[in-house]
Amino acid sequence: MANHKVVCWDCGADVSDPYVNTCPKCGGLLTVKMDLEAVKEMKPADLHKTPLGVWRYAPFMPVDPAHKVSIQEGGTPLYKTEALGAEVGVPGAYVKFEGLNPTGSFKDRGMTIGVSHAKELGAKVVGCASTGNTSASLAAYATKANIKCAVFLPSGKVAAGKLAQALFFGAKVLSIDGNFDDALALARKMSEEKKLYLLNSINPYRPEGQKSVLFEIMDQLQYNIPDRIILPVGNAANIWAIYKACMELKEVGWIDKVPMLTGIQAEGASPVVKAFAAKKNDFIPEECPETVATAIRIGNPVSGRKALHAIYDTKGYATTVTDAEIIAAQQLLGRREGVCVEPASAASVAGLKKLREIGIIDRDEKVVCICTGNGLKDPDTIIANCPGVIKCGNSVAEVEKILLQN
């Protein structure tokens, strides 16, 4: 479609080869420049004929809807979490539950656009490196599009549910000797040799689909713009996508202020937070990232520089949370709100609690925490942190006795 072009985020050069993942001139990061002239004539309600979901926002997407590969991604609930808000002292707290996407994480928003574009290009093989959710999502969309799929996983450390999905959808699942960053390096090499079309978030089309979470939040709040959006940061494409969505809404005149974008990393994998604390525009990669939140166990975030720009430009913030704080937040959300998220997703809620405690977040802020993935992806972590099954004799009296215990 002629409504966009791919450009270098660093030097501005046009980039036409779809198989390069960085700027051929300067090695910089790529991004999509949308032509939004036509949208300036429209209002948000003009899109409401289409159900809430990624494709409602087709005029902001760089793919012709005629080519769409969709399993009805997006359209996830935005909960007003009153019990959570009371607990942490932020009554205006909301949770956007991305775990209710088709494969159980927000990755589906990017994949519907990325795989639709791969189909437009006539790609024969798609691939990605993944901590789990990207591969689960790509495997589903590739099979829907009838394109062959290879996923590169770091050895061990992939949650059972995510691995099960990639295998189930029929992808070639390759366990690479190394961590996520090693797996990505191999996938990129394959892409540079044009052996596959790479659908990691370094691909500029994926964040385009991920913009839709911000568009949905605005629709769900009737354009009462939240003061702050908090989300976990791993490779940092999602925070960049949300920032880009804000800038585009501003460009078309649908909003006049922007939420403070607030990124949360795990203490053991926090290159972006360290750069923010040092007021730097670039980060220092970490060799051995470690955290229970495997989806953000990333030492060398591909879009880290874009994330820092997004945070500074929106007067946002970045901080770390410990694994113990992540598990506590996951349980709080489960026990008080009936929402089951995976550990990485709970990092946003742990961040809300911490930033309220240290006074970065005011009591009267309206805050949306993005909970990126479903708790059922990683049942082992949940079971390990819950009380066990109760042994019970086969009698009413014994059941009653147990129920009377607290």
Ligand X SMILES: *Cc1c(COP(=O)(O)O)cnc(C)c1O
Q: Which residues would be at the binding site for Zn ion (CB under 5 A)?
A: 8, 10-11, 13, 23, 25-26, 28
Of positions 202, 273, 295, 369, contacts ligand X by CB under 6 A: 295
Q: How far apart are CA 246 and CA 296, in angstroms?
A: 23
Residues whose CB is less than 8 angstroms from the CB of residue 92 and which lie 6 or more positions away in sequence, other chains included: 85, 227, 364, 365, 366, 367
How many CA atoms within 13 Å lie on the side-chain side of 390?
11
| Shortest distance, position 132 Cβ to ligand X, whole Å | 7
Instruction: Choose the binding region for ligand X from 32-40, 181-189, 339-347, 360-368 (rule: CB under 6 A).
Output: 339-347
DSSP secondary structure code for residue 312 in this structure: H
**Reduced to 3 states, what is the DSSP secondary structure of residue 246?**
helix
Radius of gyration of the chain (CA): 21
- Region at 72 (left for phi over 0; alpha for psi -120 to 50; beta for the rest): left
Which CB sits closer to ligand X, 195 or 309?
309
Binding mask 161-200 for ligand X (x = CB under 6 A): ----------------------------------------
201 contact choice in ligand X, Zn ion, none (CB below 5 to 8 Å, kind-dependent): ligand X
Instruction: Choose the binding region for ligand X from 45-53, 232-240, 327-335, 389-397 (rule: CB under 6 A).
Output: 232-240
Residues binding ligand X: number (CB under 6 A): 18
Yes or no: say if 245 and 308 are a contact pair by the CB < 8 Å rule.
no
Residue with tokens 């926090």: 270
Q: Name the token pair of 325.
A: 């704080």
340 contact choice in Zn ion, ligand X, none (CB below 5 to 8 Å, kind-dependent): none
Q: In whole angstroms, what separates CA 349 from the centre of its chain?
A: 15
Beta strand ranges found along 183-280 (DSSP E): 197-198, 228-232, 260-266
Interactions with ligand X, residue window 361-380 (CB under 6 A): 372-373
Residue with tokens 């959808």: 169
Instruction: Choose the binding region for ligand X from 14-22, 173-181, 234-242, 273-281 (rule: CB under 6 A).
Output: 234-242
310 contact choice in ligand X, Zn ion, none (CB below 5 to 8 Å, kind-dependent): none
When CB distances to ligand X are compared, the closest residue is 373
Which CB sits closer to Zn ion, 11 or 386?
11
234 phi and psi angles, rounded to 5 deg: -115, -95
234 contact choice in Zn ion, ligand X, none (CB below 5 to 8 Å, kind-dependent): ligand X
25 contact choice in Zn ion, ligand X, none (CB below 5 to 8 Å, kind-dependent): Zn ion
Residues forming contacts to ligand X in the complex (CB under 6 A) are: 105, 107, 133, 201, 232-238, 295-296, 342, 344-345, 372-373
